[in-house]
Amino acid sequence: MADYKAPLRDMRFVLNEVFEVAKLWAQLPGLAEIVDEETAMAVLEEAGKVTSKSIAPLNRGADEEGCRWDNGVVSTPAGFIDAYRTYAEGGWVGVGGDPAFGGMGMPKVISAQVEEMVNASSLAFGLYPMLTAGACLSINAHASEALKATYLPNMYAGVWAGSMCLTEPHAGTDLGIIRTRAEPQADGSYKVSGTKIFITGGEHDLTENIIHLVLAKLPDAPAGPKGISLFLVPKFLVNADGSLGARNPVNCGSIEHKMGIQGSATCVMNFDEAVGYLVGEPNKGLAAMFTMMNYERLGVGIQGLASAERSYQNAIEYARDRLQSRAPTGPQAKDKAADPIIVHPDVRRMLLTMKAFNEGGRAFSSYVAMQLDTAKYSEDPAVRKRAEDLVALLTPVAKAFLTDLGLEATVHGQQVFGGHGYIREWGQEQLVRDVRITQIYEGTNGIQALDLIGRKVVGSGGAFYRLFADEIRQFIASADSDLQAFSTPLEAALNSLDELTDWVLDRAKSNPNEIGAASVEYLQAFGYVAYAYMWALMARTALAKQGQDDFYASKLGTAQFYFARLLPRIHALSASVKAGSESLYLLSAEQF
């Protein structure tokens, strides 16, 4: 298996050459005094070193060993404690955290690259700081100043960790029916009782304390989602002087035996009148939790990209070295018994598909991250509102499309290895197993598709969609003749997506089943068009610099492959959507 190398050259290309992020930061007062291009690139260089040297070598061993549970105590795989300490001491847990409480204060578009690097090094390891960073977001946005001052500094420092406790045995997506209760106490605290399942990092040995964000209902709460509140429940109570106090009655009942991410502890957590503190307003906990979940959903999309990038690095090294058969046009390595498999058309198809997905996904996730930065820091209400609407539209696409393509790409990477791809020692089968969860947690991809078409497209009457489509049209209108090989098929694809969107909007008026029936294929079609926009942007930059080095020639060749071989998938997806919902309801439940 190839050693992981952080794709810093491509990250610099996307950030500095395609999107020119330093210009955006200069317009955002909250970032202008914190970060510039030189600082950002230095941050990424250091992140590349720590992830590739301290974390990536642990990945396979962690998969073999897994986490261990013993009477409520969870032990992580060998090397994780030291690696986490190194990662935390570098400030990486708080890379995007509020500087007022010890965070590094980097924009999301930079922390997104760090997330890719740590998750490509080890997805199981990367989940621990990811959940902590997400919990910090919700605490910083919604908790009292006292709670923020007490908990955020140690969480940003990686001394304490965070977890997100939503799911219950009977309540997954339908959080309105949770049973966990919170009883108010005379001192302003609450006694939280209930059981939560599938809790990533609910218990482990990496930090001295774990801060759980728990969804629960107050005694007088209204029924359904409007009756959910959010509570901060520490593993160990915190004394007035900041030292750790008594153990809170929060216990890990067991850990799950899973398909992948064996080094990540997925816990059943039992709260038995545990002391908790209200975060935000009563009965508005779901909104507070979504502050964390929306960032996590982009982060999960990046996990799909990260796994695919690691698989590609393995596959390309193997394809250059593995000798099998001769090229269709005759021997290429005449001094050897056979040619490297990279000469074969099908191997090149798989490698180029992976490359196009990865580089398109890196551009798209960075684009979404830029909108998050704009929405957070812009002082112009109109600019902020536009960015917020784009984030709302594109977050389900980022979560679902990047992870769907992540699975496809890791399967391609496994296939490149042939029989060796099925063997543990080569590492490719682990990436397939690990990435599979990304399509499931943080809202399954089917739920993301429903969110996109139902809430964001139909729910806005198409307004959110037109916001993004209009931006693409402005780009197409500004394209010069050199770019027509990319702008012309992009325009045709956008016209097709326009027509498909109008079709769904119209059919949804008379048949509520059409939204759900269209949702997954619609999100896929949307994703391919969004990636086409990213590839057209990258092609414009590469065209201006072609001839400087092979990097830009590689970009243009990959862009041409994307438009020729991958973008046409939208036609089959569109036909599937327009087939309607009728065929889904031809069978009774008993006929399945």
d(CA 370, CA 219): 41
3-class DSSP state of 378: coil
Note whether 255 and 264 are within 8 A (CB).
no
Helix (H) or strand (E) holding 391: helix 381-416
d(CA 90, CA 44): 12
**Any catalytic annotation for residue 471?**
no
Note whether 430 and 496 are within 8 A (CB).
no
d(CA 454, CA 570): 20
User: Two tokens at 55?
Assistant: 């974390």
Q: Which is the catalytic residue, given 115, 309, 442, 514?
A: 442
Distant-in-sequence, close-in-space partners of 211: CB < 8 Å, separation ≥ 6 = 135, 139, 151, 155, 160, 161, 162, 163, 232, 233, 234, 235
List, in sequence order, every beta strand (DSSP E) within 129-249: 160-165, 181-184, 190-200, 209-216, 229-234, 236-238, 244-247
Helix (H) or strand (E) holding 366: helix 345-377
The β-bridge partners of 274 are 192
The β-bridge partners of 70 are 73
Nearest CA to 165 among 226, 212, 131?
A: 212
Number of residues assigned to the chain: 592
d(CA 300, CA 459): 24
Which DSSP symbol is given to 3? P
d(CA 487, CA 480): 9
Task: Show the DSSP H helices in 71-144 as ranges.
Answer: 80-89, 108-121, 123-142
Nearest CA to 552 among 42, 12, 114, 23?
A: 12
d(CA 479, CA 487): 7
d(CA 194, CA 155): 25
Which residues are catalytic, by number? Answer: 442
